[in-house]
């Protein structure tokens, strides 16, 4: 039976790993990207080589509400159904309380909180018809704020709250869960070895997670968790065990 998954921010990194995993499990996938079009097209070409007409790219900046609506319409129209929405796209950068601007607030909350909410809203008829599910990509720092990243932490805390309330609002037809990763892939840009070591010292399993650790958690929530909704699955190697 045809099943369709929509994954935002899926050209690279954890989003691409999620798209590959869901495709391997038999889903047709809508690979959303914003700037990384070449990488998204390359991923989709590989997936289509494996199974013809099973993956498409849709490029959109989801921070625009009208673009979001049109993206949702296109995504739902690709194969006429949506079974799974993975809200993965995210903006992540620091900003001290003294220096945060309203533009920073807008950028960080739009990608990490507002867009996931309104994508669920826009895709709700399809998700209900398919008795589908939503997986939100949260962060351990939605539970325990990341120093230097107050707005990002607030947005992810909101995403955690959203996961729980939408699980109630959308039951019994649609399940809503989240994955809260710890240190999986280092952020792009400057992060020195000393800083990385300081993070890893507070990870019980003493290493970064792998893309596959996240993909497997999403696989569980999508395929094997029929009686699970409103849950935040932490995948952090034991980071939250430390202060
Ligand atoms: N990496 C980790 O270790 C880690 C840890 C904790 C939580 N997480 C969460 O897990 C998810 C994936 O992490 P990641 O590190 O793989 O993500 P990422 O590389 O930081 O971002 C994923 C994608 O989001 C897209 N994006 C950003 N702003 C957008 C916007 N306004 N409209 C549309 N797309 C937008 C970008 O697409 P384009 O490249 O196409 O522009 C980007 O490639 C995120 O939600 C992140 O917060 C990750």
212-222: pLDDT as tens digits: 999 999 999 99
- pLDDT tens-digit series, residues 16-62: 999 999 999 999 999 999 999 999 999 999 999 999 999 999 999 99
Rounded to the nearest angstrom, the distance between the alpha carbon of 55 and the centre of ligand 1 is 20
SS3 216: helix
Number of domain units in the chain: 1
| pLDDT over 90 at 243, yes or no | no
Please answer whether residues 140 and 240 qualify as being in contact, where contact means their C-beta atoms are separated by less than 8 angstroms: yes
The domain of 120 spans 4-241
Task: Return the pLDDT at 215.
Answer: 98
Instruction: Compute the distance between CA of residue 158 and CA of residue 95 in angstroms, rounded to an integer.
Output: 18
Task: Return the pLDDT at 138.
Answer: 99
The runs of H, that is alpha helices, within the chain are: 13-24, 37-50, 65-79, 102-109, 115-130, 150-170, 193-200, 211-223
The CATH number given to whatever domain includes residue 103 is 3.40.50.720
Lowest-confidence region among 37-41, 175-179, 190-194, 197-201: 190-194
| pLDDT over 80 at 198, yes or no | yes
Q: Which two tokens stand for residue 113?
A: 């909180």
7 lines ligand 1 (CB under 6 A): no
12 lines ligand 1 (CB under 6 A): yes
113 lines ligand 1 (CB under 6 A): no
Task: Return the pLDDT at 183.
Answer: 97
- CA-proximal residue: ligand 1, atom 17 (nearest): 90
Please answer whether residues 200 and 208 qualify as being in contact, where contact means their C-beta atoms are separated by less than 8 angstroms: yes
- CA-proximal residue: ligand 1, atom 18 (nearest): 90
Task: Return the pLDDT at 77.
Answer: 98
Q: Annotated catalytic sites, by residue?
A: 152
239 lines ligand 1 (CB under 6 A): no
- CA-proximal residue: ligand 1, atom 11 (nearest): 88
């Amino acid at each position: 039976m045809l099943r369709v998954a929509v994954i935002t921010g899926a050209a690279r990194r954890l989003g691409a790993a999620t798209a590959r995993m869901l495709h391997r499990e038999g889903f047709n996938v809508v690979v959303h990207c914003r700037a990384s079009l070449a990488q998204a097209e390359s991923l989709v070409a590989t997936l289509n080589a494996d199974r013809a007409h099973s993956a498409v790219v849709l490029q959109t900046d989801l921070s625009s509400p009208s673009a979001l609506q049109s993206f949702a319409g296109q995504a739902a129209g690709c194969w006429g159904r949506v079974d799974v929405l993975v809200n993965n796209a995210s903006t992540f950068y620091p900003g001290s309380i003294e220096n945060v601007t309203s533009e920073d607030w807008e950028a960080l909350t739009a990608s990490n909180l507002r867009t996931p909410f309104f994508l669920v809203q826009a895709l709700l008829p399809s998700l209900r018809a398919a008795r589908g599910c939503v997986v939100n990509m949260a962060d351990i720092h939605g539970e325990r704020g990341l120093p230097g990243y107050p707005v990002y932490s607030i947005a992810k805390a909101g995403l955690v709250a959203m996961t729980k309330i939408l699980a109630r609002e959308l039951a019994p037809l649609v399940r809503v869960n989240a994955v809260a990763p710890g240190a999986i892939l280092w952020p792009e840009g400057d992060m020195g070895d000393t800083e990385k070591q300081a993070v890893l010292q507070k990870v019980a399993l003493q290493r970064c997670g792998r893309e596959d650790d996240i993909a497997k958690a999403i696989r569980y929530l999508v395929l094997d968790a029929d009686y699970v909704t409103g849950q935040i699955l932490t995948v952090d190697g034991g980071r939250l065990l430390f202060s």
